[in-house]
Amino acid sequence: ETGPRHTPTSTLANGPVISPPHTVDAFVKAFLHELNFGQGVPLSRSSVNDQYLALARTVRSYLMARWLETARRRRTDKPAKMVGYLSAEYLLGRQLDNALLATELTDIATEAMVACGIEIDDLRQQEVEPGLGNGGLGRLAACFIDSMATLGASSIAYGIRYEYGIFQQTFVDNRQVEKPDAWLSMGGPWGVVHPEMEVPVNFGGHVETYVGEDGRERRRWTPAWGVMALRYNYMVPGYQNGVVNTLRLWRARATESFDLHIFNAGDYAEAVRAQTFAENISKVLYPEDSTPQGKELRLQQQYFFVAASIKDFIQHTMPKDFDVRDLPERIIFQLNDTHPVIGIPELMRILLDEHDLEWEEAWAITKQCFAYTCHTLLPEALEVWPVSLMERLLPRHMEIIYRINEDFVAELRETYPGDELRVRRMSIIADHPERSVRMAHLATVASVKVNGVAALHSELLKEKVLNDFSELWPERFTNVTNGVTPRRFIKLSNPEQSKLISDTIGKGWVANLDRLEELVGYADDADFREKFRAVKAHNKTRIRNVLVSRDGIALPEGHLLDVMVKRLHEYKRQSLKLLHIVTLYDRLISGEVEPSTVTPRTVVFGAKAAPGYAMAKETIFLINSVAQTVNNDPRVDGRLFVAFPPNYNVTLAEKLIPAADLSEQISLAGKEASGTGNMKFALNGALTIGTDDGANVEIRQLVGDENFFLFGMTEPEVAELQAKGYRPGEYYERDPQLRRAIDLIASGHFTKGSRDAVSSFVGDLLYNDRFLALADYAAYIEAQDKVEAAYGDQDNWSRMAILNVARTGFFSSDRSIRDYIDRIWHVKTGV
Ligand code: 6GP
């Protein structure tokens, strides 16, 4: 890296960076050093938080040596092309255990803490997870950077260091109440700040024409205000390969000039207040999952981190004499959904206004530097920004977008003469209901590749969401099926299963998940099945303990553990799961079934709702209300239990998923782009009940129909029903079981007699039901009844679960990243 620096002439300057030795003694020494001289406390007077921070910094120092070494190797090598992963979200989860695993320090650190009289588990509990993401998209980014480091892919990831991550969810009177997530308040030991390397980012102002020295007319942007982007580096360790990559998160800081005029006017307090305004940019993660609100601050955030990242890459990551014409050989920016798409006009602006390139040349370069991943099929999730807002906040960028669109529309008119309807559909600028910029169109026009995140999703992108574009540029569209990191979601989260696998096929699977296939034969081995069941039983005991101490929830023992964890969204159909629970309950209390003949089942939900999403919040209220009623009704006789621990997050997922028997993946077909929880469950030995949607399709193909509980309409059937006109009331009229469930809810049975409390939920189901829950209800209940029958044969259930583990190695994020590298990025790998 270049940048302002002073290189001492001492012989020490080029010496190697040596990490402390991998011994318990050296670790204890380094730990005590951090405690005494970092925290400024003796061991005898240290708090748990002191100890945690000292431990984190000790582990960080081992990482740091590898990080410097990785950077040094990349400097001396012939400079290679890099991936610049641009994502507004990284849902990282706790860092300590992953860092210990990567550096092979777990045992040493544990012993070192014992030597100090410290229980390392207490320190683990002290870590607040960085929740810098909402759900699937952010967690995927976290898995991907883990895999990039593990594959040694030449890469850097960029994002925002939100001061407040995803809100903390609490329940008050069964309703969601959000609390700010001050994840840094106890000290963030993992980030390394470089205040001297900050980057300016500007906003507002106007654009004017001027004549350059060569007599050519040019445009010049005079911004009205700006902020500084402060650089925080986080280390991303590869799995036991010595590589440590960089995650660079930006924090906004007010510039000196920002408030100068206020200072001069003598209003000190007002000047300080103005700083707060600037620093608001990186203050809080927007808690919307798949339904952006189009807030101005959000556009500021997007431009802020993308502008800082591109500038950082060109100015600091490239050599000083670097020619921007070589950019396509040096970088591919991967756009994680549309949030970073403003980077496209930003790169054009840099090339045109700062490097004096002609339009055609700048466009030819820009078009090679971006690739776009779409993560949704919901039309309302495709970001659009009002032209008026863009003109006010980023006037030069708006101009550039207009010009890109002008050329694009001209090309369309040539290709499709007279087809003005198509031109309107495809235009980057929409006219209705408000003149606005369609970010997905801009991304598609400027990218080398556009990918969906599962096979079905990528097909539907081509056939529906971006159909016109795929007709024009079929070769641009591709699929990269999502994956999850086996380090965090098997090795760390499920140590018992990991040990069983390693004892059976060796340890290589952690970095080569295809090797799980070697377990296929063991599905027929009774001894192995028994061990596998023991692992599951162990994990159930573990989650029981976690939920007792975390939430005071006591899960019953010996139940089928049925888990639905994901963001609360209508298309995911938590309401359908709720109808199933009410049906089971109704069968028990109506005397239709004898409790002793019923498979005992515990359903665990985990879900946050966007704070402004009313229907999602009603659903949370109803789940909690049903749980309260069901769990306290003696007629249920302990056969059904519903738990909804608040604040589902990565840390809880790591404990809950390995304990599950049944994975709920019940979105309406054609709506869930991929899902990644579905993969985690299968890899941890849960069976899936699911629709033909997202990556469920591929999971089922791999594990086999007989090891998957499929139900519900297919995407074409959904389309057909909707075309014909869907009337949910008809299902209610026709199906007595469904009618009883809905009537029971509507009667106020679960809401202390209040019908009002449930009227919007019930009304929506009967008269709207946008995601066709009632149409899939009967098939779902039937499939659930099959689940119960299958669970009765424990030995066969284990067989099916083992085959799920053995056949889903494909869903390693290592494989996803290989796909990106081979088909999109073309960057080097290896340590
Ligand atoms: C999510 C999709 O809903 C989920 O299906 C997918 O697995 C995940 O992305 C990772 O690809 N999408 C989002 O979280 C989102 O905000 C705009 O999409």
Whether the ω angle into residue 433 lies within 30 degrees of 0, i.e. cis, is yes
Provide the mean pLDDT of the chain.
Answer: 96
Rounded mean pLDDT, 111-140: 98
**How confident is residue 257, by pLDDT bands cut at 50, 70 and 90?**
low
452 lines ligand 1 (CB under 6 A): no
Residue 169 pairs with which residues in a beta bridge?
178
pLDDT tens for 283-292 read 999 999 888 8
Of 264 and 723, the one with more pLDDT: 723
pLDDT tens for 207-243 read 999 998 888 899 999 999 999 999 999 999 999 999 9
Name the nearest CA neighbour of 107 among 117, 97, 92, 116. 97
- The CATH architecture that domain 79-94+129-481+819-825 belongs to is 3-Layer(aba) Sandwich (3.40)
Rounded mean pLDDT, 729-742: 98
Catalytic residue set: 375, 566-567, 572, 676, 680
Q: Whose CA is nearest to atom 16 of ligand 1?
A: 290
pLDDT at position 319: 85
Same fold, 79-94+129-481+819-825 and 559-794: yes
pLDDT tens for 433-466 read 999 999 999 999 999 999 999 999 999 999 999 9
Tell which atom from ligand 1 comes closest to the C-alpha of 134: 14
Residue 811 has pLDDT above 70, yes or no: yes
User: Does the structural domain 559-794 have CATH classification 3.30.70.360?
Assistant: no
pLDDT at position 77: 61
**How confident is residue 424, by pLDDT bands cut at 50, 70 and 90?**
very high
**How confident is residue 408, by pLDDT bands cut at 50, 70 and 90?**
very high
Tell which atom from ligand 1 comes closest to the C-alpha of 138: 14
Q: Whose CA is nearest to atom 13 of ligand 1?
A: 137
pLDDT tens for 502-538 read 999 999 999 999 999 999 999 999 999 999 999 999 9
244-to-18, 67, 492 alpha-carbon distances in Å:
14, 5, 19
688 lines ligand 1 (CB under 6 A): no
829 lines ligand 1 (CB under 6 A): no
Tokens of 74: 């990349």
Lowest pLDDT segment from 54-58, 377-381, 603-607, 789-793: 377-381
Rounded mean pLDDT, 539-553: 98
Name the nearest CA neighbour of 528 among 718, 750, 798. 798
Among 91, 290, 439, 569, residue to substitute to test ligand 1 (most atoms within 8 Å of Cβ): 290
191-to-83, 231, 243, 308 alpha-carbon distances in Å:
21, 10, 17, 17
Expressed in angstroms and rounded, the spacing between residue 50 Cα and the centre of ligand 1 is: 37
86 lines ligand 1 (CB under 6 A): no
Tokens of 327: 């950019």
Q: How far apart are CA 259 and CA 275, in angstroms?
A: 7
Residue 643 has pLDDT above 50, yes or no: yes
138 lines ligand 1 (CB under 6 A): no
Domain ranges of the chain: 14-78+102-118, 79-94+129-481+819-825, 559-794
Q: Whose CA is nearest to atom 15 of ligand 1?
A: 290
**How confident is residue 72, by pLDDT bands cut at 50, 70 and 90?**
confident
The DSSP string of 554-604 is -PPSS-EEEEEES---GGGTHHHHHHHHHHHHHHHHTTSS-GGGSPPEEEE
**How confident is residue 1, by pLDDT bands cut at 50, 70 and 90?**
very low
**How confident is residue 11, by pLDDT bands cut at 50, 70 and 90?**
confident
Question: If you ran DSSP here, which 8-state letter would residue 416 be given?
Answer: S
Tokens of 508: 């290589």
Residue 263 has pLDDT above 90, yes or no: no
pLDDT at position 290: 81
Rounded mean pLDDT, 375-399: 97
Residue 155 has pLDDT above 80, yes or no: yes
pLDDT at position 106: 98
Sorted by sequence, the CB contacts under 8 Å of residue 458 that are 6+ apart come out as 451, 452, 477, 478, 479
**How confident is residue 268, by pLDDT bands cut at 50, 70 and 90?**
confident
**How confident is residue 2, by pLDDT bands cut at 50, 70 and 90?**
very low
pLDDT at position 261: 66
Tokens of 192: 């390394």
The answer to whether the predicted template modeling score (pTM) of the entire model surpasses 0.90 is yes
pLDDT at position 320: 82
